[in-house]
């Protein structure tokens, strides 16, 4: 692979693939004596949490799903293939495709509830995202649906008992704690870490955790290993994807006095390079020395490219955070229109470099792991972003009269009058992206709740 192509590839690769490349290099390049992981290995062979990076971001998107997930014997580093069907379904030959909303609805129907209570539970369940987490805070749901807060809290408590474990949590922390409670592990070290030291957990501060709980580092690592078996997004248990990917947030965001600051921890394995390999062959065999020199040059190039990747990711990550500072600080409810070309111009690099840095890279923003590309959005007229369009569309449909749900055509008129430059096709697309059913399905769903 030519030098420039190798540099570009190292910029482009997502974290788990780059880790795989480094391990492959250690096995193929004689100039690389060893590779030292930043993650410890557990008994099962999964990447364990090491001394750098984010604990939370290294959790699986879908967790272990012990009851239903059949582990694949062949695991790639950072990737785990797992069946989405239960063992009994596989053995019986019944492969019924499931989705989260159907699973929730089946469990609601199985409950013996009064009509009002059933309607509240179904109404609250409508705010559960495909991840399994609630999209809004409980007071917001109560206000939007005209329920009392007590009714919403009772409904959420019922939903916490549903499958999958961790359902209807308001945030990742509660989701993980609910899963431990389901396992009857309340009071364990893992539970106490999440309950009273979640910030330290997200900062990856194992020494602080050991001191706080007066235990050994090994005990903290064991507790972290237990947390790693949990699911950040339990709803994905019912997704259609067969390949389940571990997400690594390479950019950690910390809040300063007047801005958000991007940090890029060193999470990649270290290549132990034999820098004297050429000298070993010079006298004995000049051809061997020449070949060894090529291997050494490649190893050093990879080492330098990793450093360049981190530096570029920090620069571009910070530029993105600064560009969207109003949204991040809460001054604006919407992202600004932002394109790769704007970041490239400010950082004096090519658009392709920005594209490689952003593609399949993730940022940890106060415990929430987000794709870096989510901070980029198009323009929909008058300096308004497509992100703003989706927010306004969601508000309009959330406020609709359930007796007369609004059509896409009505939503389009409202958006146009508000200064958004959109088409009916765009309205339908954004509504679909938000997971909102068309008007006919919403009308039918509302009638069932009566």
Domain parsing of the chain, residue ranges? 100-237, 249-265+297-375, 386-449
Peptide bond connecting 446 to the previous residue in cis, omega within 30 degrees of 0: no
The long-range contacts involving 192-199, CB below 8 angstroms and separated by at least 24 positions, are 193/220, 193/223, 193/224, 193/227, 194/227, 198/173, 198/367
Burial (CB count <10 Å: 0-12, 13-18, 19+), residue 440: exposed
Instruction: Report DSSP letters for 164-232, one per residue.
Output: STTTTBSSHHHHHHHHHHHTT-TTSHHHHHHHH-HHHHHHT-HHHHHHHHT--HHHHHHHHHHHHTS-S
**256: which 2 tokens?**
């300063």
Rounded CA gap, 27 and 36, in Å?
A: 13
Dig out the tokens for 184 from the structure.
């009857």
Distance CA 52, CA 266 (A): 6
- Which one-letter DSSP state was computed for residue 403? T
Q: How far is the CA of 229 from the CAs of 179, 183, 282, 306, in angstroms?
A: 10, 12, 51, 30
Residue pair 269/248 in contact by the 8 Å Cβ criterion:
no
Buried b (16+ CB within 10 A) or exposed e, 151-190: bbebbbebbbebbbbbbbbeebbbbbbbbbeebeeeeebb
* DSSP output for 84-143: SS-HHHHHHT------HHHHHHHHHHTS---HHHHHHHHHHHTTB-TTSBBSS-HHHHHH
Q: What is the DSSP string of 249-302?
A: EEEEEEE-SSSEEEE----SPEEEE-TTHHHHHHTT-HHHHHHHHHHHHHHHHH
Write down the pLDDT at residue 148: 93
Q: Quote the pLDDT of residue 73.
A: 27
Exposure string for 387-422, b = 16+ CB within 10 A, e = fewer: bbbbbbbbebbeebeeeebbebebbbeebeeeebeb
Q: What is the pLDDT of residue 246?
A: 57
Exposure string (b/e) for 260-297, b if CB count within 10 Å is 16 or more? bebebbebbbebebbeebbeebeeeeeeebebbeebbe
CATH class assigned to 386-449: mainly alpha
Give me the pLDDT at residue 444, please.
84
Task: Tell me the mean pLDDT per 10 residues along the chain, length 450.
Answer: 83 86 87 73 34 40 35 27 29 45 84 88 90 89 90 94 92 93 91 91 86 93 86 77 61 84 88 86 75 90 94 94 89 87 93 90 83 84 76 89 90 88 86 85 80
């Amino acid at each position: 692979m030519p030098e420039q192509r190798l540099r570009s590839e190292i910029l482009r690769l997502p974290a788990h693939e780059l880790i795989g490349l480094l391990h492959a290099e250690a096995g193929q390049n004689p100039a690389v004596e060893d590779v030292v992981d930043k993650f410890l290995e557990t008994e099962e062979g999964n990447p364990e949490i090491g001394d750098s990076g984010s604990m939370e971001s290294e959790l699986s998107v879908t967790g272990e799903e012990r009851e239903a997930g059949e582990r694949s014997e062949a695991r790639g580093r950072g990737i785990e293939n797992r069946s989405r069907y239960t063992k009994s379904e596989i053995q019986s030959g019944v492969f019924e495709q499931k989705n989260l909303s159907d699973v929730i609805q089946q469990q609601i129907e199985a409950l013996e509830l009064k009509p009002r209570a059933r309607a509240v539970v179904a109404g609250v369940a409508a705010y559960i995202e495909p991840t399994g987490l609630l999209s809004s805070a409980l007071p917001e749901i109560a206000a939007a649906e005209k329920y009392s807060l007590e009714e919403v809290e009772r409904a959420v408590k019922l939903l916490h008992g549903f499958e999958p474990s961790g359902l209807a949590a308001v945030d990742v922390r509660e989701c993980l704690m609910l899963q431990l409670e389901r396992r009857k592990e309340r009071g364990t070290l893992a539970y106490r870490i999440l309950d009273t030291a979640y910030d330290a957990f997200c900062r990856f501060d194992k020494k602080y955790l050991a001191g706080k709980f007066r235990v050994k580092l090994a005990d903290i690592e064991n507790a972290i290993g237990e947390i790693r078996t949990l699911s950040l997004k339990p709803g994905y248990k019912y997704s259609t994807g067969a390949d389940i990917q571990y997400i690594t947030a390479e950019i950690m965001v910390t809040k300063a006095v007047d801005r958000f600051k991007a940090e890029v921890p060193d999470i990649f394995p270290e290549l132990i390079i034999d820098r004297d390999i050429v000298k070993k062959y010079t006298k004995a065999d000049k051809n061997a020395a020449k070949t060894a020199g090529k291997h050494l040059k490649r190893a050093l190039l990879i080492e330098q490219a990793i450093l360049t990747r981190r530096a570029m990711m920090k620069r571009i990550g910070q530029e993105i955070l600064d560009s969207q500072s109003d949204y991040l600080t809460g001054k604006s409810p919407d992202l600004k229109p932002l394109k790769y070309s704007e970041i490239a111009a400010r950082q004096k690099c090519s658009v392709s470099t920005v594209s490689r840095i952003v593609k399949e890279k993730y940022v940890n923003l106060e415990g929430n792991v987000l794709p870096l590309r989510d901070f980029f959005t198009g323009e929909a007229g008058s300096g308004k972003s497509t992100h703003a369009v989706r927010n306004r569309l969601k508000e309009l449909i959330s406020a609709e009269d359930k007796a007369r749900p609004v059509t896409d055509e009505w939503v389009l008129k409202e958006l146009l009058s508000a200064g958004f430059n959109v088409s009916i096709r765009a309205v339908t697309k954004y509504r679909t992206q938000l997971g909102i059913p068309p008007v006919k399905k919403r009308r039918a769903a509302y009638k069932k709740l009566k």
